[in-house]
Amino acid sequence: MRPHDRSRRSFLKTGAALAAASAASPSGEMLRAQPPGGPKAPPLFAYVGTFSSPLKDVLPTQVDLPPGNGRGIHVFRVDRETGELAPASVMELGTSPSCLAINAAGTRLYSSNETDRVGEPKQGTVSAFAIDRADGELKPLNSVRSGGAGPTFVSIHPSGRFVLVANYFGGSVAVLPILEDGRLGEATDVKDDAGTIGPRKATNAPPGSFAISGHDRTHAHMIHADFSGLFVIHTDLGLDRIFVWKFDDGKGTLSPAEVPSVALPPGDGPRHFCFHPEGRWLYCIQEEGSNVALFDFDILTGRLTQRQTISTLPPKFAGSNFCSGILVSPDGKFLYAGNRLHDSIAIFSIGAAGLLTYVGEEWTRGDYPRSFNLDPSGTFLYSCNQRGDHVAAFRVAPGTGTLQFTGHYAAVGNPSTIVFLDPTAGARRATGTAR
């Protein structure tokens, strides 16, 4: 029976139950590996993607990328008790691997390389790596063209057989098949965004804002499937639109959904989005409008219906701010939203109907938080402070969702994203960019 013939709700509940069981049960091999005298948890690994291109490779239209102080993909061992990151190794890359995704088995890592070096017209690439689960080391498998310039986001389809990529400077999205050995094949589908470019001034910009980033052309910023995998969603910042596609997991192709797109206020610039764990609500953060929009998501048709808009900034804020990442806590009770220039993470509580209430904010202890993520246990939140050249660790308060700085920094040049691998529970994908 094909997925669309099943009950969508049963599909979601079954997937969640399997994921929970996997996370809660260490393998027999891991248990046997524990030393005498008491169990000792295997290491938790963190992978930090960076901007690592030399100055000559930075695209001229980029507004927020320094020459590239990163060295590629930085690997850390994570102290499960304190949250401290200890450097383990670096996969040296000069291609700005700015977004990372790990497969569900925790055996493969994929990176979007935010450059325009390959083919004609010039495109960026997506790379595949094998992960050594014993020490976290990466081994290159291959790289393929991304279907456009400046690929800025990658995610893995729930089937585990495709990588989805958004090309920011190319204004396109693509589907890349994952081969049996984990390598990537050439794109099975590429879609170019088209429509009316939004104004340079955001409808909901704070007073006095000069936050102008991507309203010069089409800019595909994020792409991710819903939990069932039947729909794929992507944002275009320049068009102020969220696109919804039906996904054919046999062919690896995209076709317009019943309602193929929804508009955000002109100039607000939809950047990233995340689903609530229940799968019924989608939250989208607007880069230039500095707000979060709540949408009801119809799991049968993929239709998005907007129901709330709320600012990511404190009352009476004035000036410029660029929003960045967004994620919902695993228990579905809190939402976090990143503010660059204001350099904070806004905290919201989530009500029974999915509505957001502003709780407060936490200073990121660094400049320009490009993204952030929770560790697999949900105990710590890590902020990738791009212009501060470090990752800062915060402890999450149970019950309130508030953040307390741990005092731990990890030096990383121009960090862009952080994802985790727990050998006892498979992979945790980049919740800051997806859920």
143 domain-assigned: yes
Would you say 146 and 165 are in contact if contact means Cβ atoms under 8 Å apart?
yes
* Mean pLDDT along residues 201-209: 95
Structural domain total, the chain: 1
Strand partners, 280: none
369 membership: H or E segment, kind and range: strand 369-374
Residue 126, domain member (yes or no): yes
Alpha helical stretches, state H, 263-337: none
Any domain includes 35 = no
CA 339, chain centre distance (Å): 15
Q: What percent of the chain has pLDDT over 70?
A: 85
Kindly calculate the radius of gyration of the chain based on its CA atoms and give it in whole angstroms.
20
375 found inside a domain: yes
Q: Is residue 36 part of a domain?
A: no
Assigned token pair, 144: 């393929």
- pLDDT, residue 179, reads 98
Residue 421 lies in a domain: yes
Tell me which residue range forms the domain holding 24: 3-30+41-434
Distance CA 242, CA 430 (A): 20
Which tokens belong to 292?
């979060």
Taken as a whole, the chain contains a residue count of 435
Give the dihedral sign, CA 31/36/41/46.
negative
Please, are residues 129 and 75 in contact by the beta-carbon 8 Å criterion?
no
Does the structure show a pLDDT above 90 at 66? no
Q: Rounded mean pLDDT of 88-117?
A: 95
CATH number at residue 66: 2.130.10.10
Q: Could you tell me if 306 and 293 are in contact, meaning their C-beta atoms sit under 8 angstroms apart?
A: yes
Give residue-wise pLDDT tens across range 207-235.
999 998 889 999 999 999 999 999 999 99
Indicate if the alpha-carbon torsion angle 261, 330, 425, 73 is positive or negative. Answer: positive
- Give the pLDDT confidence of 232-248 residue by residue, as tens digits: 999 999 999 999 999 99
H-run or E-run covering 28: helix 28-32
Band (pLDDT 50/70/90 cuts) for residue 41 is low
